[in-house]
Structure 1
Amino acid sequence: MAQYLVLIYEDEAGWAAWGPKAEAAMAEHTRFGETHGGTAMVGGAWLQSASTATTIRDGVVSDGPFAETKEVLGGYYLLEAEDLDAALDLAKQIPAPFGGLEVRPIRTVG
């Protein structure tokens, strides 16, 4: 089994407004975790807002994310799947109502 990181990039304003769309998405995240937790889903987390980020570039520490963008990394899932197609099928079940997902294979060393 290969591992894939699903990065969730969204506009934080949608979550901050916390309306019906955000409530429905949260219910979908819960359902995804209940369905795939302990099997295909190895882990995952909802990150604090980008305003809490601290970055390091060339040894210099600064507040905030690397770039000013509308969509920021808001969370992730670590999945196990037979191949990329299977990982994409799983990732399609992950809600991202205020943005989108990026699926990347974990590089194995050794």
Structure 2
Amino acid sequence: MAQFGVLIYVGDSAHAPGASGDDIAECDEHADEVTAADAMVGAWAFTPRNLATSVRSGGVTAGPFVDAADIVAGFYIIEAQDLDAAVAIARTNPALRAGGGVEIRPIHSGGMVERSSK
């Protein structure tokens, strides 16, 4: 089965340090639904843009890499039969109801890295 990355774009992330369960309930419910459909491989939520640090060749700055109305608030990896099935899953993301959007990309390669214990 093919894997797809789903990047979540919204005005900012709801996953601030100290966010309550109510603040992120809709995101958690969506993740539970995708997991129950046996499509979720992994998911990561980023903190709000004011906690971002950007590194460029000229130095390090506070804030997101790109100053845009919408930022990448998180991403998840799903398995789906094809792009149409991945789009159907991604269309249920709560970011769409909040005025944001998602970007779907087929995954070429990669995976979790085994770390040696020290």
TM-score (norm 2): 0.71
| Alignment-derived partner of residue 30 in structure 1 | 28
Give the 5 Å matches for 1:13-92.
15=14, 26-27=25-26, 29-37=27-35, 39-58=38-57, 60-92=59-91
The alignment of Structure 1 onto Structure 2 pairs a total of residues equal to 101
Indicate the structure whose relative CO is greater, using CA pairs within 8 Å and at least 6 residues apart: 1
Query: Deviations along 1:66-102, whole A, 9 cap, x unmatched?
Result: 1211111111121111111110010011111131111
Q: Which runs of 5+ in 1 are unaligned?
A: 17-22
Please identify which structure carries the higher helix content: 1
Residues 25 and 95 in structure 1, CA contact (< 8 A), matched pair in contact too: no
Give CA deviations for 1:44-83 in whole Å, capped at 9, x if unaligned: 1221011111122226322211121111111112111111
Query: Given that residues 50 and 72 in structure 1 are in contact (C-alpha distance below 8 angstroms), is that contact kept between their aligned partners in structure 2?
Result: yes
- Which residue is equivalent to 2:100? 99
Q: Which has the larger strand fraction?
A: 1
Unaligned 5+ segments in structure 2 are 16-21, 111-118
Take 1:67 and 1:33, find their aligned partners in 2: how far apart are those partners?
Answer: 27
Which residue identity does 1:99 align to in structure 2?
G
Can you list the C-alpha shifts for 1:1-39, whole angstroms capped at 9, x where unaligned?
1111111111129x59xxxxxx69843x33322222162
What TM-score do you get using the length of structure 1 for normalisation? 0.76
Aligned to 1:2: 2
Alpha carbon RMSD of aligned pairs, Å? 2.6
**Share of identical aligned residues, percent?**
37
